Every structure is written in C-alpha cells, then in structure tokens.
Amino acid sequence: MALNNTFDARLQQETAVGAGVQILLLALLGSAIGMGPAGWLTGLVFAFATWAVLSRALHRSRLSSFGPANRVTLGRATLVGGVTALVADSFESSPPVTLLVGLTAVALLLDGVDGKVARRTGTSSALGARFDMEVDAFLILVLSVYVSTQLGPWVLLIGGMRYAFVAAARVAPWLNAPLPPSFARKTVAALQGICLLLAGADLLPHTANLGIVLLSLGSLVWSFGRDVLWLYGNSGTGAGVEETATVEPLVRELKLELAGR
C-alpha cells in the first residue's frame, strides 16, 4: 500500500508540474501580447481542468510511472492550452496570428510522436491513448471555433463531430465496438488540423480557405459515415472483434481511434 501511495504521489507531481508549465506559458503570452481577461481566464480554466482530470485518471489507472510518452502528450496539452487562451482572447482583440499558428503547428507536429515513443519504450497504455485522443480532439475543436469567426458557424461541425459521436455512443452502445485499422481514417484525422491551420493562418484568399475547410468537413463526414455504417453492419455479429484480434497491441487505441481524429 505504501509503495502504491509513493507511485501515486510521483504521478501527481507530474501533473502539478504540467499545470505549472501551463501557467508559465500563459504568463509569457500575457507579457508578450498583453492578453486580456478572457484569454487569461480560459487558459487558467484549461490548466486546472487538465490537472484535475488527468490526476483523477492517473489515480484510477494505477500506473507505476507517468512515462515519456505521456510527458510528450502533456507538453502538447500545454501548447493546446496556449492556443485556447489565444483564441479566447481573439474575441476581445486582434489575435497574434503568427504566434497562434506557431503554437498550433508545433502541437500538430508532435502528434504521433507520443505514440512512437510509447511503442519504442514499451509504455503504451489505455490512459495514454485516451489522453492523446482528448488533446487532439480539443485542439480541433478550438481551431474550428477560431476559423468559424472567419468562415461561419458551420465550421464548428468539424470540431463538434467527435463529441457528437461520443454522445451518440451513449445511446447506441454498438458505436463503441472496435474498428479495423484504416490508413484512410488516420489520413482524414491528420487532415483536419492541417486544413484548419491553413485557413486560420489566413495566408490564402477567402475562396481558397473556404474550399480547404469544405474539403476537411467533407472528408470527415465521409470517414465518420463509413465507419458508422461498418459498425452498424457488424453490430451484434462479432465480426469486428475477430478481425481486430490479430492486432492485439493496438486494440485499446482502435476503440478510441474514431473519436481521436
């Protein structure tokens, strides 16, 4: 019991350090751009919520160590917190587009690094996969909010689709079944952040940005629709379970993969 308490204390220290780094980033952003109350409040809420949720999840997971992969994901979460604060601040004043794009680009580039680190170090876990998924999903949601101010509220469909899927799965449990591996699904998932980043950078004409985001939304609808049809067709038959049994190390991530675009 004492050993478990020691491990838990060390894990909580990791989350506390992450929250501290998040607050430090907010302070740097605040001094650099004169961030207003909306940005500060949103950033602090994000930091506290991340610390609270992650601490509770770590306590329940009984992990013996936080692990290098989770540290990478926590670093990405810190960047996403900075992006969130900047987007919230953009409703009060003109956003520093270069800074926002820079933070977002680094967060997107690091996506996938945590997974590779986890596999190479043998530290893959259900918690790590879920943590990675939530950071990705929230970044897409925040970017869609930002781009919606330029192109219209319909862009929110991109960020909200994953959360709508999760809500639907509570009503229709068959949506929680594991999916077979799909390169197309991963490609579409990666496309969302890239397209929203391009549109948010506002370097291209309005028509081009509109086309890019429409492409993003169209591919996402296609991908979700294809997977939902597959899940419906295999619900209650057990077909999907047998097909994914050959990729045992990835099963936990596959359960979350559709949501983690």
Task: Check residue 112 and give its pLDDT.
Answer: 78
Query: 147 Cβ partners below 8 Å, 6+ apart?
Result: 155, 196, 199, 200, 209, 213
Q: Where are the alpha helices (DSSP H) in the chain?
A: 2-33, 37-61, 68-89, 97-110, 113-121, 126-151, 156-171, 183-201, 206-234, 239-244, 251-257
DSSP secondary structure letters along 167-230 = HHHHH-GGGGS-----HHHHHHHHHHHHHHHHHHHT-S-HHHHHHHHHHHHHHHHHHHHHHHHH
Task: Check residue 238 and give its pLDDT.
Answer: 44
Is residue 185 within 8 A of residue 250, CB to CB? The reply is: no
Burial of 122 per CB tally in 10 Å (0-12, 13-18, 19+):
exposed
Query: 246 Cβ partners below 8 Å, 6+ apart?
Result: none
Task: Check residue 66 and give its pLDDT.
Answer: 81
Is residue 160 within 8 A of residue 144, CB to CB? The reply is: yes
CA atoms of 219 and 91, how far apart (whole Å): 29
Task: Check residue 240 and give its pLDDT.
Answer: 42
Read off the tokens for 75.
């670093």
- Give the residue ranges of the chain where pLDDT is below 50: 1-3, 237-261
Query: 230 Cβ partners below 8 Å, 6+ apart?
Result: 179, 180, 240
What is the pTM for the complete model shown?
0.85
Is residue 176 within 8 A of residue 169, CB to CB? The reply is: yes
Task: Check residue 6 and give its pLDDT.
Answer: 58
Q: Which residues of 223-251 are buried (b: 16+ CB within 10 A; e: fewer)?
A: bbeebbebbeebeeeeebeeebeeeeebe
Instruction: Name the residue among 260, 106, 116, 253 with its Cα closest to residue 190.
Output: 260
